[in-house]
Structure 1
């Protein structure tokens, strides 16, 4: 490759899956047909970014060196600001500049905050796409979110409410934690804790202990599961055993696996009820379908109906930020 075909940038470079990315020079190939160069403005440090940089994500090719990241906000050479989804074949967005596939970007409205967009799009997208594409939510249906104690789970409760759920229940290990309480009223053994401003509105929303799922959420219509592992298996059987009408359809959508990559599921779970188990992620939903949902989701974030608390850090400090403890309820955004 000639010198005219590459440009020097700085990026968060992964040279070993056992070490954090390091801020160092990197050669960026020039854009090809259907691609564009962007100056990166903001990139969220999502759990998905970390799993990709460690080689643990199921889409990992194992090739090094690599520049991680799954999405970001950048400025095109003509001055337009866009949100873009990273292409696995291109240099990732954790860089001062990168090349994007122009089919995988959406122009942002004037005045949109790049940090807000970079922070919220990824955690909101999983539930947004699940409830609009994977199992389209019908007005008034009820939704259970397993993992409401995490940013994506708490966001999923707000998404469900926004999309017309009649009732939203979140299940968390600590239902009165700050993150879980952002999404709805927390129920615990000694009563309820009122949700703060910004919690899910437009539907009844509450957060309960995982141990109480069978009692409280037995007759929900859709489950968004960010946990998997043993907690999901236990919750699944508790809900199925407690259903008043086992012929009532239950759609269980597996999204994340923070509690473990596998479960032990009795076969009776799939025979004793009208129960559908499916996943939502890269491969389960086409890239075209994901991209079609971006403009509407961006509108909700720009309007402030879906948001996350953020903290920003310079991209040059990526190695330090990578190993620092995350503040609950806050999404780190790296800015060049």
Structure 2
């Protein structure tokens, strides 16, 4: 078969021939891959920087996809650990890690939105006991996952959602997706702190895709402005687009009810993640959750890897 093949962690994958994988277990089948998303998680695995990377080459990247069985069934699936990746003409699917999609589903929309949508969906549904009526701040709301997080928070019953990001133009678009307020993160430190204090002082949950300096600014700004510092603030760390580390004075953990936790592969079990897939896929398939996708044929994977797109978009590789 043809696949995107990584032969060096220092170079993008190329469209090459690669041995077709074979089903091994009783629950495994071989499917034709229809569409696979080029997610940040896929990029980090392909350059060897992800914390789960085993360092073995050559490899085929791709962690999920939409595929079609030999009898025409359309599936969304998450690749098994250690399996050949999904950016290929064919992939092995463990039926226990797959869900059936309606026949009229747009496979590109599902391939683009499931992985980024899963981050906030799982965080709110499995990592937290999120209750309707709560309020949410999304740090990094102008990216693909952040845009979906705004929509998901509203869909799950958030009374108020605040989106924070660097692009004023994309921030304004969030209001059409359900954001009640927006916070630009491109002013002076004092301007950012003042706006966070005004718009997000009493939120219940922060979904954080940024970490780094924005989080260092946001934690003290919000905690100092809270009406009741003993009210729980659940800070869920999902991404680190702005930096891997923060400096957090210990006093903030004593002077407020700050609960720092992460949500991702390892902190949430595989079964818990898989259990959330049908409901999330339904919302995407019906159009209740929308993302922005850029479809490109798999044979152009090398060009796709270096293509400049908006942070709110997601490249999807297709087998046409």
TM-score, scaled relative to structure 2 = 0.94
CA distance in 1, matches of 2:64, 2:302: 19
The alpha carbon displacement at 1:328 in A equals: 4.3
1:281 aligned residue: 264
1:30-87: CA deviation from partner (whole Å, max 9, x where unpaired): 1011211010000111111111111111111111111001110001122211000112
1:181 aligned residue: 172
1:254 aligned residue: 237
CA distance in 1, matches of 2:76, 2:243: 31
The alpha carbon displacement at 1:242 in A equals: 1.0
Secondary structure of 1:109's aligned partner: coil
Find the partner of 2:181 among 201, 206, 219. 206
CA distance in 1, matches of 2:65, 2:197: 39
CA distance in 2, matches of 1:67, 1:213: 42
1:21 aligned residue: 13
1:227 aligned residue: 210
Task: List aligned pairs for 1:147-162, cutoff 5 A.
Answer: 147-162=140-155
CA distance in 2, matches of 1:177, 1:64: 41
2:298 matches 1:315: yes
1:240 aligned residue: 223
CA distance in 1, matches of 2:21, 2:35: 21
TM-score, scaled relative to structure 1 = 0.90
1:4 aligned residue: none
CA distance in 2, matches of 1:241, 1:94: 47
- Contact 1:154–1:182 at 8 Å: present in 2 too? no
Secondary structure of 2:16's aligned partner: strand
Find the partner of 2:34 among 23, 41, 44. 41
Q: Please, which runs of 5 or more residues in structure 2 have no aligned partner?
A: 186-191
Mean CA deviation greater in 268-277 or 160-169:
268-277
Find the partner of 2:108 among 115, 123, 132. 115
2:133 matches 1:133: no
CA distance in 1, matches of 2:155, 2:72: 32
1:66-115: CA deviation from partner (whole Å, max 9, x where unpaired): 10011100011222110001122110000000112221100101211111
- Contact 1:130–1:136 at 8 Å: present in 2 too? no
Q: How many residues align?
A: 310
CA distance in 1, matches of 2:284, 2:291: 9
- Contact 2:137–2:163 at 8 Å: present in 1 too? yes
- Contact 1:104–1:291 at 8 Å: present in 2 too? yes
- Contact 1:155–1:183 at 8 Å: present in 2 too? no
Q: Please, which runs of 5 or more residues in structure 1 have no aligned partner?
A: 1-8, 185-194
